[in-house]
A and B are shown apart, each in its own frame.
Chain A
Amino acid sequence: GENVEQHPSTLSVQEGDSAVIKCTYSDSASNYFPWYKQELGKRPQLIIDIRSNVGEKKDQRIAVTLNKTAKHFSLHITETQPEDSAVYFCSYGGATNKLIFGTGTLLAVQP
């Protein structure tokens, strides 16, 4: 069935370091991969997305890479700041009209 595994579940980094979150999905027909950030008690918000016709996309300190052969996609945050602390969810568009979400990664950036 449709499934996505997300690792790690928690990640602690020092301010200024990089953070990487990885996801593996099951549906080879998927071609849309959005990432959402959710601050404590708030709504999830889209931070970046990628479609399968590209292998990498970058927006300032955030980048996403996609390996369709291996069914892997990853979020990279460089020069982390305390305001990057949040839960990050990967997701992908499955065969039906819905997004499949990972279980989330709690990122803590230590000042």
Chain B
Amino acid sequence: DGGITQSPKYLFRKEGQNVTLSCEQNLNHDAMYWYRQDPGQGLRLIYYSQIVNDFQKGDIAEGYSVSREKKESFPLTVTSAQKNPTAFYLCASSIGSAGGGQETQYFGPGTRLLVL
């Protein structure tokens, strides 16, 4: 799991501001995912991408956007439309050959987003 990185470790957002969280992997994985983690709750899927230039909404996509222009990168933008963005954001990747629901996902170290 050392092959997947996220930055920054902490991020502060002002009201009305868009912020972008970085996720990079050098595992040569096709599939990448973004999860949101709130205290006392499990991991909720925001967006996922099975291949470059393609992505799908997860369970809580409203207020977020993504892009997948390169295989190794899957940035997440938290827009001003996301009214409660304070959370721990985790990026993950998997090989992608069997489908994301059938293979191990490897997680990055996470970004903690706080609202000023």
Contact = CB atoms under 8 A, between A and B. Distances in A.
B is bound to A? yes
Interface stretch (B14-22, B36-44, B60-68, B74-82): B36-44
A103 B101 contact: no
A103 B50 contact: no
Contact of B107 (A45, A94, A97, A102): A45
Contacts of A94: 101
A104 B42 contact: yes
A31 B42 contact: no
Interface residues of B, number: 26
Nearest to B44: A101
Interface string B9-41: 000000000000000000000010100000011
B113 interface: no
Given A42-B109, A44-B107, A99 B101 contact: yes
Contacts of B42: 6, 89, 101-104
Interface in A76-111: 89, 92-99, 101-104
Q: What DSSP secondary structure best describes chain A's contact surface?
A: loop
Contacts of B48: 97-98
Interface of A: 6, 9, 30-32, 34, 42-46, 49, 89, 92-99, 101-104
Interface in B90-116: 90, 99-110
A43 B99 contact: no
Contacts of A89: 42-43
A34 B41 CA distance: 18
A89 B35 CA distance: 14
